[in-house]
Amino acid sequence: MTLEDLLQQSLLPLELTTDELQQLSNALQNLPARSIRRLRNLPASQHVFFEALTAVPWNSYGYWWDESRGRPGAEPLYAAGGYFIQDAASMLPLTLLQPQPGETICDLCAAPGGKSTAIAEALDGSGWLLANEAIQSRLAPLELNLARTGSERYATTNCDPEQLADQLPQHFDAILVDAPCSGQTLIGKGKQSHSSMGAAAIELNAARQTRILDAAARLVRPGGRLVYSTCTLATAENEHQVETFLERHPDWELVSLKAMRTQGLVGDDSTLQALEVLQSPLLAGCFRVWPHRDRCAGGFAALLKKRDHNQTPLDTPHAEIAVDSHERKSRTKPNKKGENRSRFRPKTWDSQLPAELDSWGELQWAEAAVGAQQAFAWPDKLPEGWLELIHGGPEVAYKKGSQWFPSHALALRNKWKPNLVIELTDDETKRFMSGETLDIKGRISLEGSGWCVARWQHLSLGWLKIVDTIGKNHIPKPARLNLQTS
Amino acid at 26: N
Sign of CA dihedral 472, 352, 155, 101: negative
Catalytic (active site) residue 296: no
Among residues 231, 286, 296, 452, the one annotated as catalytic is: 231
The residues assigned a catalytic role are 231
